[in-house]
Amino acid sequence: MKRPPIVMIHGAFCGAWAFADFARPFAKAGYAVHRPGLRHHDCGSRPPAALGRTSLVDYANDLESFIAGLGAAPILVGHSLGGLLAQMLAARGRARAAILLAPSAPWGVLPTTLFEVASAQALYLAGDFWNRTLEPQYVIAAANSLDRLSEEKRRAVYARFVPESGLATFEIMHWALDFKRAAFVKPRDVVCPLLCIAGGEDRINPPSTVRAVAARYEGRARYEELPGKSHWLIGEDGWEKLAASILVWLDNLRLEEEPARGARA
């Protein structure tokens, strides 16, 4: 049985580097693993101004074109923002299966914690952030995303962070004001199996919200919660065990390679 390729989609403020270690067990298991970078995320700390106006739809369209070039429909592994993009692509029929690691919620899923609400409101302190690039902030990343890493590793990971699209951030965190509904995913269009995994101590995309994401897919999604884990599931201590459990889940699906459909016009 020839296995489908795997496409790993990184999260906000990151790049393809974020999955460098996490991809290794999958490659060792015989999967062809691809780690595309999102648009303008390979420009370091000085991306073009166009990044600030880049939409989730732009990211998804780029990834869809990438997938069409693979020749086979892939398994998607998405972290955080990448988890939302994986849902969007699955709704377009571009996935054999999807693993959502601490995924951002699609349009219509209400925040379930005060921290999520407060974080969204705090963005307005940056002014018209939806038209500009957003710079990473070490204090925020250290407290909420990289908080389960050692100080040395935390600083090493953060040193690779890059600016993010203000528009894409708006489309995720203020979806109720986005009349284009960029983050919308029609649940019934997602027909592939999904594995939704939350860190028990994650404040960015907390377990209660990830559980609500999984519930949208009515039996097609399996929800798992990892006690003591936070948001950086792809690099916190024990990530190897997480990767191994995902491989078992995939083995049980017994997916065979399936030709990819062409990219949408």
Please spell the DSSP secondary structure of 172-208, one letter per residue.
Answer: HHTGGG-TT-TT---GGG--S-EEEEEETT-SSS-HH
Q: Where are the domains of the chain?
A: 6-253
Segment 79-108, tens digit of pLDDT: 999 999 999 999 999 999 999 999 999 999
23, pLDDT greater than 50:
yes
What is the second-level CATH architecture of the domain 6-253?
A: 3-Layer(aba) Sandwich (3.40)
- Cα 106 to Cα 159, 176, 211, 235, 247, distances in angstroms: 29, 11, 13, 24, 26
What is the pLDDT confidence band of residue 262, given thresholds at 50, 70 and 90? low
* pTM, rounded to two decimals: 0.96
Mean pLDDT of 111-129: 94
